[in-house]
Amino acid sequence: MTPSAQQRDFAASLHELLAAADTPSMARAWGRGEHPSGLALWRQLAKLGVTALAIPESHDGLGATAMDLVVAFEELGHHAVPGPLVESIAVAPLLAPPQWLPRLASGEVIATVAPWYLDADIADLVLGGTPGALAACVDRTRRLFPAAGDLTEPAFNAGVLACAAQLSGLGRALLEMSVSYAKSRVQFGQPIGQLQAIKHRLAEVLIALDFARPLLYAAAFSGTARDISAAKVACGDAAYLAARTALQVHGAIGYTEEFDLSIWFSKVRALVSVWGTPAEHRARVMAAL
Amino acid sequence: MKGLREWLAANVPHRLPSLDTAAGNEAHREWESKLYAAGWAVVTWPAEYGGQDASLHDWLTFEEEYWAADAPIRVGQNGLFLLAPTLFSFGTKEQRDRLLPPMARAEQVWAQAWSEPEAGSDLAAIRSTATRVDGGWLLNGQKTWSSRAAFADRAFGLFRSEPGSQRHRGLTYLMFDLRAQGVTVRPIAQLNGEPGFAEIFLEAVFVPDVDVIGEPGQGWQVAMSTTSHERGLSLRSPGRFIAAAGRLLELWRELGDPRDTAMRDRVVDAWIGAQAYRWHTHATVDRLASGGKLGAESSTGKVFWSELDLSLHEAALDLLGPTHDDRWTDGYLFALAGPIYAGTNEVQRNVIAERLLGLPR
């Protein structure tokens, strides 16, 4: 129940693409409502097959497994890619009328879904209800248009799992940033990463992320509501610990808009509370036990 | 693991007295010899030593069944889970032939003799010595906090065999008889009032050459292989925590107030933690099966399971309120030691930060 060699290769090529794409600048532009660079990346993701993953082969998709999606969303989270990724790539394929599926697969159509209608202003297809007015979000790259609406349970679960995977990737990136900063930032005549107070906090982050990930993979494998909720709780907790720790390790520079950490931090904070709050998911686990 | 569940259902004894009492120790040895006779004592060992040549995956299944059946704690655990893997990796055939069968039958129970008064977390500060003599070594010094030593037969540990050597160098891994001439064992009562560990005083205790594991002077390397087993995989299998989380759920159903969502969340988190440890261990076993090694990452597992065990038992005690329950109290007291033994969690966090994250020493 871990990614295969082929899935790891796919993750590596996605990582390569995203690392070269300057996703922080893209995220900032997206938050201002300037979409061209983000949409250009969307076309590149489509070329790599990311938008086709959850579409059945009968409709020009790849008919990929939940594990393939999890692997892809961990990388998308790792690079804090903006846009309705969960909505269009993981959820819409389960809700869209069949005639839309080939164009979702090819990336020509971008979809969004209820009840947050993320990026409804650029979506070609809106599912589950009608979007409301633009609303603020702690993550300014998330342009929400909340309104009533409903999702089917399989669609909701697909969104939760993809969101959990994004959180896992975001958390890992935050740990990498923190470790790298702790090695280079010198105070009291030594790298701060030499101080035990810093070491122990970062060790806790690694432990949380390392033990959340197997739940994510187990959830991709079983597909049950119970396991998906458990994964969302654990990935959310681990990513949030990574975010708080990252902010503390970076100190004042981390608390600036200009520094890229702010993009990862605020995305984690937003994702912890969407696709079901931690309390809702814990209640769902208990109900399933 | 065919027939295991049925065998356990038919044979697991009702709660034995504590293994850290004379009567309880005897009862646990009897249980373990019964387990051995039925072929279930050492499933991963080769058939020639009473095992079933089971894979690590089968071992995980065995452990889940064992703990789900509420079977007794393993009195032989120091030998079975720490010394035996070392003997398989570094021991001679003569040592395996001589030591493994009585260990598997619990005729010989092993204690560990790592810590010393001045060498706890800082294990490399060991001062007890092994001095070369004709045909073997003479041990001198003091060991302490030796788990199970009060009722065990033999012990294994590290000794400074090169006079004047520093830290990790010049240490030798030796085994000795706790009833040999020159050995004094002084039991120490633990928090629960029972002598779960002991001090061991050694005065010119003779150990023959055949009781050295690996090369003299290479003890640290040999011991480190044991400690990754101790921290990571074999000492605390996921089965224990899965079973305990299941019992916590039953307790919640029986006593929990459905409106108390804070308590509900603690119970759910215990279940999620046990599942996380389970799937993480399965991934580790997959990696080992395809030729990987168990290294510093075993430190993450040690911190995780010990904190999980404690928070799980704390949740149970908080659910019970003023009601006393022997079993949860015993489990809680046992769990309290987890963040301390096998290398304190603070030492593990140093290892994680320096060896896994690459932070400067």
Decide if A186 touches B, using CB distance below 8 A: no
Q: What's the rounded mean pLDDT across residues A160-180? A: 98
pLDDT tens digits in sequence order for chain B, 361 residues long: 899 999 999 999 988 999 999 999 999 999 999 999 999 999 999 999 999 999 989 999 999 999 999 999 999 999 998 899 999 999 999 999 999 999 999 999 999 999 999 999 899 999 999 999 999 999 999 999 999 999 999 999 999 999 999 999 999 999 999 999 999 999 999 998 999 999 999 999 999 999 999 999 999 999 887 666 655 566 788 999 999 999 999 999 999 999 999 999 999 999 999 999 999 999 998 888 888 887 888 899 999 999 999 999 999 999 999 999 999 999 999 999 999 998 899 999 999 999 999 999 9
Percentages helix, strand, coil for chain B (3-state, rounded to 5) are 50, 15, 35
| 0.90 surpassed by complex ipTM | yes
pLDDT tens-digit map of A245-256: 999 999 999 999
What per-residue confidence (pLDDT) applies to A121? 97
Decide if A40 touches B, using CB distance below 8 A: no
What per-residue confidence (pLDDT) applies to A1? 81
Nearest to A121 by CA among A91, A142, A94: A142
**d(CA A279, nearest CA chain B) in Å:** 8
Domain ranges of chain A: 5-127, 153-288
| Nearest Cβ partner for A215 among B279, B297, B303 | B279
Decide if A195 touches B, using CB distance below 8 A: no
Please tell me the pTM assigned to this model: 0.95
What per-residue confidence (pLDDT) applies to B230? 56
**Which of B261, B272, B285 to mutate to probe the A interface, most A CBs <10 Å?**
B272
Distance of CA B223 to the CA centre of its chain: 14
| Domains, chain B, with CATH or none | 4-75 (no CATH), 110-217 (2.40.110.10), 236-356 (1.20.140.10)
What per-residue confidence (pLDDT) applies to B156? 96
Per cent of chain A over pLDDT 70 is: 100
pLDDT tens-digit map of A91-136: 999 999 999 999 999 999 999 999 999 999 999 999 999 999 999 9
Residue positions counted in chain A: 289
- Nearest-angstrom CA–CA distance, B217 and B175: 15
- Nearest-angstrom CA–CA distance, B361 and B358: 9
Q: Which CATH class is domain A5-127?
A: mainly alpha
pLDDT tens-digit map of A176-225: 999 999 999 999 999 999 999 999 999 999 999 999 999 999 999 999 99
Q: Do B265 and A198 touch (CB under 8 A)?
A: no
What per-residue confidence (pLDDT) applies to B131? 98
Q: Do B261 and A206 touch (CB under 8 A)?
A: no
Query: Given the structure tokens 């969307």, which residue do they identify?
Result: A42
* Res A150 pLDDT > 70: yes
- Per-residue confidence at A82, pLDDT binned at 50, 70, 90? very high
Decide if A8 touches B, using CB distance below 8 A: no
| Nearest Cβ partner for B283 among A198, A214, A286 | A214
Q: What's the rounded mean pLDDT across residues A217-238? A: 98
Q: Which of B63, B65, B194, B230 is catalytic?
A: B230
What per-residue confidence (pLDDT) applies to B226? 67
Chain B positions contacting chain A at CB under 8 Å are 249, 261, 264-265, 267-269, 271-273, 275-280, 282-283, 286, 297, 300, 303-304, 346, 348-350, 352-354, 356-361
What per-residue confidence (pLDDT) applies to B233? 65
Chain A residues within an 8 Å CB radius of B357: 175, 179, 199, 202-203, 206
- Residues 98-117, chain A: which have Cβ within 8 Å of B? none
What per-residue confidence (pLDDT) applies to A94? 98
Residue positions counted in chain B: 361
DSSP, residue by residue, B299-335: HHHHHHHHHHHHHHHHHHHHHHTT---HHHHHHHHHH
Q: A153-288 maps to which CATH number?
A: 1.20.140.10
Q: Do B350 and A196 touch (CB under 8 A)?
A: yes
- Sign of the torsion formed by the C-alpha atoms of B81, B85, B91 and B97: positive
